[in-house]
Amino acid sequence: MARPVTLFTGQWADLKLETLCQKAKALGYDGLELACWGDHFEVEKADAAYCKAKRALLEQHGLKLFSISTHLVSQAVCDRIDERHKTILPPHIWGDGNPEGVRRRAAKDVIQTAKAAKRLGVSVVNGFTGSSIWPLLYAFPPVSPAMIDAGYQDFGKRWKPILDEYQKLGVKFALEVHPTEIAFDIVSAERALEAVDGHPAFGFNYDPSHLGYQGVDYVAFIERFRDRIFHVHMKDVAWRQTPGLSGVFGGHLTFGDARRFWDFRSLGRGNVDFERIIRALNAIGYSGPLSVEWEDSGMDREDGAREACAFVKQLDFMPSRAAFDAAFEKK
């Protein structure tokens, strides 16, 4: 095994962290990526004593920690806020639900998350950004270039002050490139980087599952952003090879519905070519964790998480330090 294999706890937030630690170790994981919801990591409580206790709990179970994740709160920083956000945000972030107030409180909390990460001893915070222009994705009624420009300007205005604080703390923010975010493919990721003036604290939590079904070259993403891959999610997805009843946008069908064009799968059971991903990560020198984000509507999650851990450990390998035929050279 070349890299530690961790489990993202977001899909397990119904379990107490101590219970999940026991399960993760039994399932074969080397560590956890703590979600900032449930009792896994609560930013508003994260003083020095709290962080020390969380570290001690993981160490008690032989688990490592490399990052924390604030996907739910960070989503609200740039979004058009509506009643959906109330279901994912802590009450102190939602407040009275006034959209601009929600966005500002979310931004402050994302900065507090970096400070908590620093106390916890990790240097990467994963998350989303939200987007004021995602609803304009399909350009009808006609969407002017100025409207899209304004969306990226809004992203830059809201996120550069956050990223400045991250840089002061020595913490990096890793955006999970994903539909509904300011960056959802290679082109939009490039534009997002430009919007924050290439800020050194801004990069990506690489997740191929959100790129493959869109038809985006998920290996080219690694190569293009080789110095901006701060963290890696291992997640698989299956998409139809022949026409079906719904398209990329999902037809308003819930996950698990057989009529969908695509759906998430347990690792090794979808269409993602993880062999190519490992080789690309080796080529750019990525040595961080491979974090399993397990999602599969048709499979028991403990069986799936156990299988996924074994899959990643079997697949991963150290890069070569010499040409394979170097031994044949005569001295």
Which pLDDT tens digit goes with each residue over 67-96?
A: 999 999 999 999 999 999 999 999 999 999
Question: pLDDT value at position 318?
Answer: 85
What domains sit in the chain, N to C, each tagged with a CATH number?
A: 5-322 (3.20.20.150)
pLDDT for res 321: 74
Q: Which residues are paired to 292 by β-bridges?
A: 7, 234
CA–CA distance, 151 with 145 (Å, rounded to integer): 10
Is 311:24 a contact under the CB 8 Å cutoff?
Answer: no
Give the other-Cβ count within 10 Å of 175's Cβ.
24
Task: Go through the chain and tell me how many residues it has.
Answer: 331
How many H-runs (helices) and E-runs (strands) does the chain carry? 12, 10
* pLDDT, tens only, 164-221: 999 999 999 999 999 999 999 999 999 999 999 999 999 999 999 999 999 999 999 9
Hey, which bits of 189-280 come out as E strands?
202-206, 229-234, 236-239, 262-265
Give residue for tokens 């972030």. 93
Best CA proximity match to 231, nearest among 310, 308, 125: 125
The answer to whether residues 145 and 91 touch, using CB atoms and an 8 Å cutoff, is no
| Nearest CA-CA partner of 264 in 232, 291, 229, 299 | 299
Q: What is the C-alpha separation between 149 and 158, in angstroms, rounded?
A: 14
Q: What is the pLDDT of residue 327?
A: 57
- For residue 69, the surrounding DSSP H or E stretch is strand 64-69
Distance CA 185, CA 116 (A): 30
pLDDT of residue 2: 83
Token pair 């851990």 in the structure block, residue: 309
Q: Which residues, other chains included, contact 104 with Cβ-Cβ below 8 Å and sequence gap of 6+?
A: none
User: What angle do helix axes 99-120 and 48-60 make, rounded to 10 degrees?
Assistant: 60
Listed in sequence order, the DSSP H helices in 196-247 are 209-212, 218-224
Give the H or E element holding residue 331: none
Burial class (CB in 10 A: 0-12, 13-18, 19+), 53: exposed
Q: Alpha-carbon distance 308 to 186, whole Å?
A: 27
Strand locations in 63-220 (E): 64-69, 124-127, 172-175, 202-206
Pairing of strands 124-127, 172-175: parallel
Question: What local confidence, expressed as pLDDT, does residue 233 receive?
Answer: 98
The ranges of the chain with pLDDT < 70 are 1, 322-331
Residue 136: predicted pLDDT: 97
Asked if 308 and 6 count as a contact pair (C-beta separation under 8 A), the reply is no
Among all chains, which residue has been given the structure tokens 């080796």? 282
